[in-house]
Structure 1
Amino acid sequence: MNEQDLKRAFQDVVVASSPPPAMDPGRALDAARKARSRRRSSITGAVVAVLVVGIGLGSAFALNPTGTTEAIMGAGPSSSSSSSGSSSSSSSTVQWPNGQTDRTATNGPQADRAKRLLVELKAVLPAGYEAPQLKYNDPSYQNLDMQRTQSQVMSNHGESPEVWQYWATTPVRKDGKVGWLNVEVSTPDPKLSTDPCALAKAFWGMGGPCQVYDVKGAKVGVVQSNPSGRDQFDKWATYLAPNGQLVTIAEDDKYLGGGYPELAGQVFTEQQLAELATDPRFRVGS
């Protein structure tokens, strides 16, 4: 079993398990998404994730979602963790860029890039649609925001090049009904495949039937349905830009966990998603 197999085993349990009371779905979704998309994480991190699943994933997320995320991502202990005991010296000396305490940048230029992606994502909506900041209706989602951004470093300390991933997600509303639109962009990584469909199928580990679309000579992998059994995106388009940045635009007629009526139809066609993925507005600055 390789690293990807281990991660997918973790993902399957995340989705199959019924959510425990008072869980933090925002953290759980972010943690699962990180684990899904990480072909660069260490083998140790993946093994730890599976072990966490084996001893009770639901309880881990419910009782300590931050700690679970740190175990998956290989982050060092938080400032509230005990400094005594036999904790690994390697985990306690992890160095993150820009003075961060973990992989995620919550402010500064890296965080600003994800916020800019959200602005651009909202700007491309067709007439009649809006992208409001909504709250989850389901009480178990603790009234969290449905519109979010995140910036995180995906490479490990000392690796070159340093790879960053930026993510923005928003509800999309029309006539009181709500769908989901998402953009994810990563900086160049020489380890990535150059095959459009291989890249598209790797998005969140969901796979699916893929077709290559031509957008003025650019090749875009478009997955038109989600066979994974996970109630997430219906379709998405993935494009490896000439500058090496990887862009994925995804949509769904409903927003998972939002509790709102789903949209009567799709926001974008597959061709339109492919065109959006190639749009320079979704490239991040250096």
Structure 2
Amino acid sequence: MNEQDLKRAFEDVVVASSPPPAMDPGRALDLARKARSKRRSSIVGAVVAVLVVGVGLGSAFALNPKGTQEYLTGAGPSSSSNAGMPDTQWGDKWPVGQSDRTATSGPQADRGTQLLNLAKASVPAGYDTPDLNYKDPTMYGGMLRAQAQISTNKGQVPEVWQYTAYVPVRKGDKVGRLMAQVSMPNPKDPADPCALAKRFQGMNDAECKIIEVAGKQVGVASPASPERGSGTWASYRAANGWTVTIMQEAEYPYGGYPALDAQPFLSPELAALAADPKFLLGS
């Protein structure tokens, strides 16, 4: 009941209760008392209703401030379903501000940069991570780069973002590559560490072994033949469903620089790096 309804109800009560019959003062007094009681009941009822709604909204706001705000303003909900991650607002096909799957600014792009910095800080002593340019003329941009992209389509639940960092690893004049790939929980990801590792870059025929790191199982894999490459990678699926793959290569593909004499990490070290909780990006 709003202010106009209260006013109208009050006027109806006044009209209905007057004028009192002149020939019966007792009945007139009785009618007046009933009208006043009815009016008070209407006003009290309206106030109680307002208080109940207010308390309900207050409780809802305390439990879910964003959802309550959307209810009051009519705003549509976001599609993010991952705790600790920023909500994604969608346009017609892509997240707002994007022209394709890749985020070039905003919180998701920031997490790609965060992953890049973590990967740079993880290289062993004796190596540096310079921002080099490709010598191959068919390539463009820098070799030190990060990417954040949406793997799922609009309306799909859960929403899955994937973050990738590419880091040149240099020792002397020789350059290799460290690549880190982190993904939000994806129902399609297998729980078995080697099955997860073999899905990386579609290398289902990769050779894989499981290495245990502080009670965590990590799949460490390499191509079955030199024709498929010479890198080594470790894949780990955390208890919350997030996945991490760290790959090392003695040569940076298309970089044009001499290859490292050896890969920077031994297999157990690479497995420990993949299982490091810092790569879960605050999930």
- Shorter chain as denominator, the TM-score bin is 0.5 to 0.7
Structure 1 runs, 4 residues or longer, greater than 4 Å off: none
1:260 aligns to what? Answer: 257
Question: Deviation at 1:206?
Answer: 2.0
1:1-286 equivalence runs, <5 A? 94-142=92-140, 144-207=141-204, 208-227=206-225, 229-231=227-229, 234-286=231-283
- Scaled by the length of structure 1, the TM-score of the pair is 0.64
* Contact persistence 1:212–1:220 (CA under 8 A): yes
Distance 1:252 1:156 in 2: 32
Question: Deviation at 1:283?
Answer: 0.8
Question: Deviation at 1:264?
Answer: 1.1
Q: Larger radius of gyration, structure 1 or 2?
A: 2
Give the fraction of aligned pairs with identical amino acids, expressed as a percent: 51
Structure 1 stretch displaced more, 93-102 or 149-158: 93-102
Question: Deviation at 1:191?
Answer: 2.4
2:50 aligns to what? Answer: none
Question: Deviation at 1:284?
Answer: 1.7
Distance 1:171 1:129 in 2: 10
5+ residue gaps, structure 2, are: 1-90
* Contact persistence 2:164–2:181 (CA under 8 A): yes
Question: Deviation at 1:227?
Answer: 3.0
Distance 2:207 2:228 in 1: 15
2:260 counterpart letter in structure 1: L
Structure 2 residue matching 1:100: 3-state secondary structure = coil
2:278 counterpart letter in structure 1: R
Distance 2:253 2:158 in 1: 34
Structure 1 stretch displaced more, 187-196 or 251-260: 187-196
Distance 1:273 1:137 in 2: 28
Distance 1:140 1:105 in 2: 24
Structure 1 stretch displaced more, 210-219 or 96-105: 96-105
5+ residue gaps, structure 1, are: 1-92
Distance 2:154 2:127 in 1: 42
**CA deviation string 1:172-226 (max 9, x = no partner):** 0001100010000000112221111000000011231100110011010110345
* Contact persistence 2:126–2:171 (CA under 8 A): yes
**CA deviation string 1:40-79 (max 9, x = no partner):** xxxxxxxxxxxxxxxxxxxxxxxxxxxxxxxxxxxxxxxx
Distance 1:96 1:194 in 2: 29
1:118 counterpart letter in structure 2: L
* Contact persistence 2:203–2:223 (CA under 8 A): no
RMSD over aligned CA atoms reads 1.6
| Distance change (3 Å), C-alpha of 1:280 and 1:235 | same
